Amino acid sequence: MIWWWKSQLDSPDGATRNRAIAKLVDTLDHPSEDRRRKAIKLLAGIGHQEVVRWSLKQITNRESAGFGVGLLTQVVTDFPHAIDSEHLQAVAEIADPMEKLSAPPLNWAGKPLPAGWENLRTVDCSELREKATAELQRRDAAETKWRRADEERKQERTKLEVVAKIRTA
């Protein structure tokens, strides 16, 4: 059924597209890991906010840390405007998570280690943190510029109101 909702995402009709997005978001609670991953990839392709929430939760899971970081990187790169400032701040402060490798753990001689051992690697999030920090700085600069322009307009209005009062008096 995922293929059907994928086709509906390209619909020019807003209601159909919104229904498809709602169904994909509902699929994130599905017991099948494969369905959840397919749905989250489709949502990441359109920059949906639920991708960021889901990925931030999945980063702590050693089984899917790399997948979560990849989704966050995709959304921060392609749709930085779609991310809330709180989530963007969380992404900027993220620590490099550990990811479990699927290869069996081997010792220095190439022999398998006991069953309790796991192979882990660190997922590098430095590029993701840099992009999130740059977006936060861009937003801050834009807000400062907007506030400055707003203050200038308010001052111009008060000057015009004073001039208008003087003329009418």
Whether residue 12 is contained in a domain is answered as no
Per-residue pLDDT of the chain (169 residues; tens, 9 = 90+): 676 767 777 777 788 888 888 888 888 888 888 888 888 888 888 888 888 888 888 888 888 888 899 999 999 999 888 889 999 999 999 999 988 877 777 777 878 777 777 778 889 999 999 999 999 999 999 999 999 999 999 998 888 887 777 777 6
Q: How many domains does the chain have?
A: 1
Determine phi and psi for 27, rounding to 5 degrees: -70, -20
Whether residue 23 is contained in a domain is answered as no
Residue 155 lies in domain: 47-168
Whether residue 129 is contained in a domain is answered as yes
Whether residue 98 is contained in a domain is answered as yes
Whether residue 31 is contained in a domain is answered as no
Long-range contacts of 3-9 (CB under 8 A, 24+ apart): 5/39, 5/42, 6/42, 9/42, 9/45, 9/46
Whether residue 35 is contained in a domain is answered as no
Other beta carbons within 10 Å of 157: 10
Threshold 0.75, pTM exceeds: no
Using alpha carbons, select from 103, 95, 25, 104 the residue that is nearest to residue 65: 95
Burial status of residue 90 (CB atoms within 10 A of its CB: 0-12, 13-18, 19 or more): middle
Whether residue 14 is contained in a domain is answered as no
